[in-house]
């Protein structure tokens, strides 16, 4: 059982590291304008194997706006 808990913790660490890398990349792409094109947001979701909703949640927390929406919503 200890081994399973260790494995779960390791996965958690990997998830946190991936999220940190994702946030760094988002900040680099958005730069000072605090905006990121929808296409880039979708590419990040695919690159980091996360749902687009998670990217949207992160962007909201970072107060970064989505521009050039593929659906014409933003």
User: How many distinct structural domains can be found in the chain?
Assistant: 1
Q: Is 72 within the bounds of a domain?
A: no
**Which of 6-10, 36-40, 50-54 has the weakest average pLDDT?**
6-10
**Tokens at residue 33, please?**
């304008």
Distance between CA atoms of residues 56 and 2, nearest Å: 36
Q: How far apart are CA 2 and CA 18, in angstroms?
A: 24
pLDDT (tens digit per residue) in 11-21:
557 778 888 99
Q: Which domain holds residue 42?
A: 2-67
pLDDT, tens digit (0-9, with 9 covering 90-100), for 53-74:
999 999 999 999 999 887 766 5
42-52 tens-digit pLDDT: 999 999 999 99
């Amino acid at each position: 059982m200890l081994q399973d808990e260790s494995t779960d913790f390791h996965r958690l660490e990997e998830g946190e590291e991936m999220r940190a890398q994702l946030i760094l990349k988002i900040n680099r792409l958005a730069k000072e304008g605090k905006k990121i094109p929808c296409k880039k947001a979708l590419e990040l979701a695919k690159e980091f194997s996360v749902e687009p909703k998670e990217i949207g949640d992160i962007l909201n927390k970072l107060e970064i706006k989505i521009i050039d929406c593929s659906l014409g919503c933003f």
